Structure 1
Amino acid sequence: MITRPIGRCSYLCPTKSQLFPASRPSLSTRALSTTTLPISSSYTATVKSSLLVSHNRRNISLHNNWTLSPKAFVRYCSHHRMCQQRGLDSDTPGSVVDITASREILPANVKPQNYHLTLEPDFEKFTFEGSVVIDLDVVEDTTDISVNALELNIHNAKLSHGDTTTQQQKAIKYNEDKQWATFEFQDAAPAGSKAQLTITFSGTLNDKLAGFYRSSYKAEDGSTRYLATTQMEPTDARRAFPCFDEPALKCTYEVSLIADKKLTCLSNMDVKDEKELPSGKKQVNFNKSPPMSSYLLAFIIGDLRYIETNAFRVPVRVYTTPGNEQHGHFSLELAAKTLNFYEETFASPFPLPKMDMVAIPDFSAGAMENWGLITYRVVDLLFDETTSGANTKQRIAEVVQHELAHQWFGNLVTMDFWDGLWLNEGFATWMSWYSCNVFYPEWKVWEGYVTDNLQSALSLDSLRSSHPIEVPVKRADEINQIFDAISYSKGSCVLRMISKYLGEDVFMEGIRRYLKKHAYQNTTTSDLWASLSDASGKDVGKIMNIWTKKVGYPVITVTEDGRNIHLRQNRFLRTADVKPDEDQTLYPVFLGLKTKEGVQEDLAMNDRETTLELKDSDFYKLNADHSGIYRTSYPPERLAKLGAAAKSGLLSVEDRAGVVADAGALAASGYQKTSGLLALLNEMSDEKEVVVWDEITARVSAIRGAWIFEDEATKRALKAFQKALVSQQAHEIGWEFKDSDSHLLQQKKALMFGTAGLAGDEKIIAAAKEMFEKFAAGDKKAIHPNIRGSVYAIVLEGGGEKEYDVILNAYRISTNSDEKNTALRSLGRSTDPKCIQRTLDLALSSEVKEQDIYLPIGALRTHKEGIEALWAWAQKNWDIIERKLPPGLSMLGSVVQIVTSSFTSLAAVEGIQEFFSNRSTKGFDQGLAQSLDGIRAKAAWLDRDREDVTQWLKSNGYLKSSNL
């Protein structure tokens, strides 16, 4: 799945209460001696002899002074064995955690093998009827069978085993907290037998964008139409049918859908047959799927149209609601090429008989990788060259290639539980950039990777409330919170780092071995490291485990002594308050030392400190091309020399963007003064590459965002600085777009136009107003798609309800999702009090789909009036927001971050904490903690550098004393 960007504790050994809950019953000493352990008898003896100090009837004492129950000792043996296998010390805090110990997973007394699932939706009542027959292997003598079920009405269950034995359930018990339904039967199914569990049920075709849900759209005649679709990841298959909803329980699926004859029915597999029912409806039966996890199952029923290509070995189609299919050609052609490329790259054929991609009008994420039936937000699949710009095209390419990468990495080979989510998402993210670079080398996407994925990862991971890549997950409501920049961006950065270290060819050979060995199975991170080690001959796990199992990353502080440079690593926190116990991890850092002689890729730092001797200290730079996951803090004199080196061509685009990013992050966290950052940016006004400008403008925006509640004179001075920085280049390259413009030039023109205009450039403001007036008069081509959002923002900042009405009307009448989203995103730019209130009212109205609530309110964060109004609105309407966006889904957490994160004072932190103190934060507690950490970081930044910034602005003529 790819999320729509809106923009924890350390990985430690569990406490005794976590690993060995007191509620677990003890075993007698005799029971201990006869218990069958999940380890060999010889190993058990070794563990007992090495760990056991003494025991009595009720307790066992171990060498580490822990006293455990006998059954807890059994679990400890397993934990100790796992640690030994991974070369870790099970008794050292911070070494490892038994991530399976506290998972809420179903009992293992039966194992599902195949589902026969039949569903029939009712589009008038918004309900569905269903039945499922689950083929089971019985592992233990069984009278009780538990499945996952949520918001379903279960009517009946029966269990069949042997040739003739069939029995109805004696009772059904529900555990709403665990989302379990347990069927109790009179007679036990014997261990080793085959059984079938048949369940009939019904449910709501909900509007929560989860499970089996309804999606609405406007038909060409203006009427509202519906389709039924699914979103199962991570744990919402249980909303669609009773099932074993865990990724490790892979099964085959045989799906049947009952629907009106005129409607299209789709599922993961191709159609086996179709028959007419006495009711006049049709039943569409699909072929049996390969073994796959429940979250990858999908089915869709609706009035759909498609376009198709045979450019790949199996049919590839794009489905849309009627009238939109012509906008699917870009994605269709790209998908066929990408599938062929992935088959060759992975040396693994795509195993399904077709590939369908469907644009869904209501969709919570960006896209979902259902095997053979990928679902997308409309804006992330359909592309119209006449109404959408270069950035939209690149976004669609990355999303399509991300989801297709999942068909192997995630679908064919799947993580065994959600703590391994990064195995799916990190690789799919990395692969989408890799393949995008192959197909569109002129886009130079790896340059943009440094300002996109790397900075997203470093930003989130610089907070105390971040989490390890492999984060322990216990409950279903915790899972959605790890679909974030750590699992996606940091995960992909780890893979980029190891691919650089091993070499791309060796890395890909390891990936091929991994896919071949584990096809149709489940894996852990150690399986990936094993395959990469096998291909490279290097102990990859030893190098990389810290990066996936530990939170955070280091800052490398550089000091110079002649030709010697001394390096020291410490944990980097944006809040600048690292405690000694948070700075224990020593990260294996690939230094990537760049000198005039080239790059030393194999130079690594594994200790707290090290010293390097250079042949020539005139020029050097660490972290060449920024493939390493760390920040570098240089002495001020060296930073100035790097600025000169950038102008002389010694630094790559990635290096220049990375230097700016590091300087910005270090200033914000107190390692350097903000005046130094401003001086560095001031020297870069003649930079030519859009990627570097993207980072420059981002860092100026970060300063302006932190100073947003400061005095008006200082804010005007910062705005004037931004204008001076970008205006000249904006005027030089212009804002007229030609067919001959390259992809990157289009992006640069758009960036510079918008940045200069919003910084007060009079010429660009005049041009924007002229375009807007023509647009308002009916010339829909007056504003180029690349700058549509910037024009809207510029006129709204200086306008009122007149401009607001034009843009709101553009949202209402457009039939193109990209156009509608651009208009909706812009409305919050207005500082007019009436317009602010209209934007807030609009967000919760029936005009805005639940999936898009974040769009109109997002731009309110660009001015203090909007920030304050937004938080007041959230408090007043909290019950409505929570009802529209249930806590178990990810969108509520995104909205919470939007309404809280733009404040800059500790007083705001206290107010936010007070509001949530008597409310449940279940499902978004992590996002809230990250938002509060960000506010604390800005408050500390202001306290440190408020006067420093004021003095720099004065010294450089942007701020006069009389203005204060």
Structure 2
Amino acid sequence: MDVTKGREVLPTNAKPLHYDVTLEPNFEKFTYEGTVIIDLDIKEESTSISLNTLELDIHSTKISSGGSEITSSPDLSYHEDSQTTTISFGKAIPAGSKAQLTHTFTGYLNEKMAGFYRSSFKDKEGKTKYLASTQMEPTDARRAIPCFDEPALKAEYTITLMADKEMTCLSNMDVASEKEVDSKVTGGKRKAVTFSKTPPMSTYLLAFIVGELNYIETNDFRIPVRVYATPDKEIEHGRFSLDLAAKTLEFYEKEFDSPFPLPKMDMVAVPDFSAGAMENWGLVTYRIVDILFDDKTSGANARQRVAEVVQHELAHQWFGNLVTMDFWEGLWLNEGFATWMSWYSCNKFYPEWKVWEGFVTDNLQGALSLDSLRSSHPIEVPVKRADEVNQIFDAISYSKGSCVLVMVSKYLGENTFMEGIRAYIKKHKYGNTKTEDLWAALAAASGKPVEKIMSIWTKNVGFPVVTVTENADNKSIHVKQNRFLRTGDVKPEEDKTLYPVFLGLRTKAGVDEELTLSTREEDYPLPDGTDFYKLNADSTSLYRTSYTPQHLTKLGEAAKDGRLSTRDRAGMVADAGALASSGFQKTSGLLSLIKSFNTEQEFTVWEEILTRISTMRAAWIFEPQPVKDALRTFQLALVSGKAHEKGWEFSSSDGQIESQFKALLFGSAGQAGDEKVVQAALGMFAKFVAGDRTAINPNIRGSVYAAVLQHAPTEAEKSKAYDAILNEYRTASIADERQTALRALARVGSDKTLIERTLQLPLSDEVKSQDLFSPIAGLRSEKEGALALWEWMTANWTALQEKLPPSLGGFSHVVQICCGGFTSEEQMAMVKKWFEGKSTKGFDRALQQSLDGVQAKASWLERDRSDVEQWLSTNGYVGKTGQKL
């Protein structure tokens, strides 16, 4: 596969060496005046130079070479489709020469959270204030400055920012000088802050910020580390992230045997931010909830999220920033590794969090879920155009990429793996790489054929299901691999890839890590006296395992007897759920397996059990009410006893996992209508509304809101609760509290009036573009919400595209949320018909994945609708509302 074929890139006749950039924002007009001087290495004789620009007004252009000006008024032509400006000049510049290109231009501080954009906050008097920040990845540096906007075209940068004296100016490097200058924008005096020259780096890592900011600083690392936030935020809430960053940088320096090469590390909470965070070299930007954390107002899940995001972004400082992928099909090298490294470092810092158990239910299942769709893509997916790049920032690049690294690190051994990583960084620092370069470094460190084994996983879409049967002698097993699709309709031409499957055979003799299935099928002997076996020990490999019903029963017994690890049990439940939904096994078997886990003691396994029930209930939302009630009753019977046993009182001695466990059970029991939980939630909420801010523990705040909205005794009380939660969103000072309230407004059940109220929020001025998904995602859990979402999206199609331009990634999430809740062929046909003749550029992959997901649910229902009804009836859940097991 030639990933470069058809790729739209700049001509190779000129290469940038250094950019001298001066920018002056105008917060009255939301524009900025800019000058960029680019030093070029002319590789081929040239009478034109092309570079990337987008939504910039270029005022003047000058080309000089060899100390003399070639032309001060060259011919400029703009190509909208490729987002390039070509500068043509009469006199040729010979190959091997150096040249200098100077542009003066005006840019726009847009509201798209892309390029150099504006972000807003309110000061203590309620007045809106603005700051200017950046988001260049993947291809929006061209929206900020004229540049050669490709990862491999690394250059050095000297940045100067002009601003009012009270404003903070930040960039990738430390401040080199500051002086007073005459302003073109205000006509008065301003300061000009010039930053030290950067090392060679890619355009997508360039960053600058101008605005009113406070900061805290630590000297626990050998260079200054700071956290910045706008004045409306409590800056001390950045202390957890600050201290963690200093420890993490020190840890990574040792792990990578490579010093952090910049003179400082700044981390900034930006009020408007499209992603979770961005790893700009030396100036990492974050969504507020992913960096500011307060133990008093946020729960254990928020703490873990902040820790993982901080450690992910700091891993990028080496993997991505110091060593950068050559082009965007190598995105996984950045994201897969930073994801793996965040879990690796989190585990070292917080072993009591047991994050590798969570990896099974989070990253592994996220990867397997998306990759089980026909419309998935390989980890190394060919990218041709700029507008395709945003669509691959998904569970394949992040989660599947990190899962491949889990496999290879286990295959080589962690120490050998890290030795190879160190060699890779040392060899390629300040340069660009392809996946083959990583495999070569790991092969050199281990002496194993890494590329031969691992490239199959990165260059092909999908993964296998491994079917295991016992041979007649009971001393061996027969193992066969086939492509797994959630829709259960694999065609022969889609089942040709044979993966190297690390079998990880667990028996009472231990785990055999040496067995690898590289053919279609194979027999393997079992150790003498084996009474049970399980493949994929600890769920470290990318495949599903299908056992016979009889063996699945044995494994259930082994789980109860403590012979399977927590990761084994969680993976087993996940596999059973996926195999039932795709037709490999009956869903009644899944329900029986889940019921048998009622004595389970581990949080991670319960998390997977409840995820599988939620997945099933989501597929059944358009089914008759008695069946839906029976499924809810099953969930209630399963979870109530455990929720009551754990309780919903939280103490400082609980620890991370116990807090998460209590919150999970309370939320699930409340969703299923557990009377004690609902009454507790109503009581807490009443005190909270009356003014007692401590009445609801932060770990269960969202669940209390949801329980009250769904189970308040009267419509009037539901409406009053809705008003109170909406007011909490409007007035709470902590971002996490506001986000929890906003998300909860989607948890209104089947109440059509409240659904309509919620759907008025995303396009209002009350909700920032970054948060547009928060009040709508949860509406999919009921049929009334799913239908309303579709009507809302189709009615507001133009307004949605204006608020979230399809080329910038966020729009894909809207499409998935509004189309993904359906469950039938008829609904799928309706979606397809509506999109006929419409441009799907920028979200075509997301749309197809949504349709594949609907198809999978429709097929599941067709196969197992009666099977599920019969099981629910036989087991006594039909027509019951009580709590039973």
Query: Which TM-score applies when normalising by structure 2?
Result: 0.97
Q: Secondary structure at the match of 1:747?
A: helix
Equivalent position to 2:485, from 569, 573, 581 = 573
Q: Which residue of 1 aligns with 2:503?
A: 591
Equivalent position to 1:176, from 74, 80, 98 = 80
Return the offset for 1:961: 11
CA distance 1:676–1:501, shift in 2 (3 Å): same
Matched, 1:944 2:841: no
The C-alpha deviation readout for 1:520-545, integer Å capped at 9, x for no partner, is 00000000000000000111000101
Q: Secondary structure at the match of 2:633?
A: helix
The C-alpha deviation readout for 1:129-156, integer Å capped at 9, x for no partner, is 1010000011111111000000000111
The code of the aligned residue for 1:584 comes to: K
Find the aligned partners of 2:288 and 2:168 in 1 and give their Cα distance: 18
Q: Which residue of 2 aligns with 1:302?
A: 211
Q: Secondary structure at the match of 1:100?
A: coil
Find the aligned partners of 1:806 and 1:423 in 2 and give their Cα distance: 45
8 Å contact 1:169–1:184 — kept in the other structure?
A: no
Taking only aligned residues, the RMSD between alpha carbons, in angstroms, comes to: 1.0
8 Å contact 2:508–2:530 — kept in the other structure?
A: no
Q: Could you tell me which runs of 5 or more consecutive residues in structure 1 were left unpaired when the two chains were aligned.
A: 1-96
Q: Which residue of 1 aligns with 2:43?
A: 139
Q: Which residue of 2 aligns with 1:769?
A: 682
Matches within 5 A, 1:502-517: 502-517=412-427
Find the aligned partners of 1:474 and 1:535 in 2 and give their Cα distance: 34
Equivalent position to 1:687, from 586, 589, 600 = 600
Q: Which residue of 2 aligns with 1:206?
A: 110
8 Å contact 1:657–1:695 — kept in the other structure?
A: yes
Aligned residues: 867
Equivalent position to 1:720, from 627, 633, 649 = 633
Q: Secondary structure at the match of 1:533?
A: helix
CA distance 1:834–1:962, shift in 2 (3 Å): closer
Equivalent position to 1:834, from 747, 753, 761 = 753
Matched, 1:534 2:444: yes
Matched, 1:845 2:764: yes
Matches within 5 A, 1:144-543: 144-278=48-182, 279-322=188-231, 323-543=233-453
Q: Secondary structure at the match of 2:417?
A: helix
Q: Which residue of 2 aligns with 1:656?
A: 569
Matched, 1:605 2:524: no
Q: Secondary structure at the match of 1:854?
A: coil
Find the aligned partners of 1:450 and 1:616 in 2 and give their Cα distance: 30
Equivalent position to 2:734, from 816, 820, 824 = 816
Q: Which residue of 2 aligns with 1:740?
A: 653
The code of the aligned residue for 2:454 comes to: M
8 Å contact 1:146–1:183 — kept in the other structure?
A: yes
Q: Which residue of 1 aligns with 2:556?
A: 643
Find the aligned partners of 2:486 and 2:74 in 1 and give their Cα distance: 57
Return the offset for 1:326: 1.0
Find the aligned partners of 1:792 and 1:667 in 2 and give their Cα distance: 33
8 Å contact 1:451–1:694 — kept in the other structure?
A: yes
The code of the aligned residue for 1:302 comes to: G
Query: Which TM-score applies when normalising by structure 1?
Result: 0.89
Matched, 1:628 2:541: yes
Q: Secondary structure at the match of 2:579?
A: helix
Find the aligned partners of 2:69 and 2:870 in 1 and give their Cα distance: 86
The code of the aligned residue for 1:295 comes to: Y
Find the aligned partners of 1:166 and 1:287 in 2 and give their Cα distance: 30
Q: Which residue of 2 aligns with 1:53?
A: none
Matches within 5 A, 1:864-943: 864-943=783-862
Find the aligned partners of 1:337 and 1:438 in 2 and give their Cα distance: 11
Find the aligned partners of 2:5 and 2:408 in 1 and give their Cα distance: 30
8 Å contact 1:168–1:185 — kept in the other structure?
A: no
Find the aligned partners of 1:280 and 1:112 in 2 and give their Cα distance: 33
Return the offset for 1:164: 2.2
The C-alpha deviation readout for 1:311-370, integer Å capped at 9, x for no partner, is 001000000011421100000000000000000000000000000000000000000000
Q: Which residue of 1 aligns with 2:724?
A: 806
Return the offset for 1:854: 0.3
| Aligned-residue identity in percent | 65
Return the offset for 1:843: 1.1
Find the aligned partners of 2:763 and 2:517 in 1 and give their Cα distance: 52
Q: Secondary structure at the match of 1:257?
A: strand
Q: Secondary structure at the match of 1:131?
A: strand
Q: Secondary structure at the match of 2:217?
A: strand
Return the offset for 1:608: 0.1
Return the offset for 1:764: 0.5
Find the aligned partners of 2:350 and 2:386 in 1 and give their Cα distance: 39
Matches within 5 A, 1:541-556: 541-556=451-466
Return the offset for 1:962: 14
8 Å contact 1:158–1:168 — kept in the other structure?
A: yes
Return the offset for 1:603: 1.0
Q: Could you tell me which runs of 5 or more consecutive residues in structure 2 were left unpaired when the two chains were aligned.
A: 183-187, 713-717
Show structure 1 runs of 4+ deviating over 4 A. 960-963
8 Å contact 1:463–1:930 — kept in the other structure?
A: yes
Return the offset for 1:781: 1.1
Q: Secondary structure at the match of 1:828?
A: coil
Q: Which residue of 2 aligns with 1:91?
A: none
Find the aligned partners of 2:719 and 2:272 in 1 and give their Cα distance: 29
8 Å contact 2:633–2:880 — kept in the other structure?
A: no
Q: Which residue of 2 aligns with 1:80?
A: none
Return the offset for 1:952: 0.3
Find the aligned partners of 1:161 and 1:491 in 2 and give their Cα distance: 45
8 Å contact 1:169–1:183 — kept in the other structure?
A: no
The code of the aligned residue for 2:499 comes to: Y
Find the aligned partners of 1:777 and 1:229 in 2 and give their Cα distance: 39
Q: Secondary structure at the match of 1:612?
A: strand
The C-alpha deviation readout for 1:270-322, integer Å capped at 9, x for no partner, is 00000001331010000000000000000000000000000001000000011
8 Å contact 1:255–1:285 — kept in the other structure?
A: yes
Return the offset for 1:163: 2.1
8 Å contact 1:653–1:691 — kept in the other structure?
A: yes
The code of the aligned residue for 1:393 comes to: R
8 Å contact 2:360–2:567 — kept in the other structure?
A: yes
The code of the aligned residue for 1:724 comes to: A
Return the offset for 1:613: 1.3
8 Å contact 2:633–2:881 — kept in the other structure?
A: no
The code of the aligned residue for 1:341 comes to: F
Per mean C-alpha deviation after superposition, the further-off stretch among 466-475 and 862-871 is 862-871
Q: Which residue of 1 aligns with 2:776?
A: 857
8 Å contact 1:169–1:186 — kept in the other structure?
A: no
Matched, 1:110 2:14: yes
Return the offset for 1:617: 3.8
Q: Secondary structure at the match of 1:651?
A: coil
CA distance 1:186–1:870, shift in 2 (3 Å): same
Find the aligned partners of 1:192 and 1:579 in 2 and give their Cα distance: 54
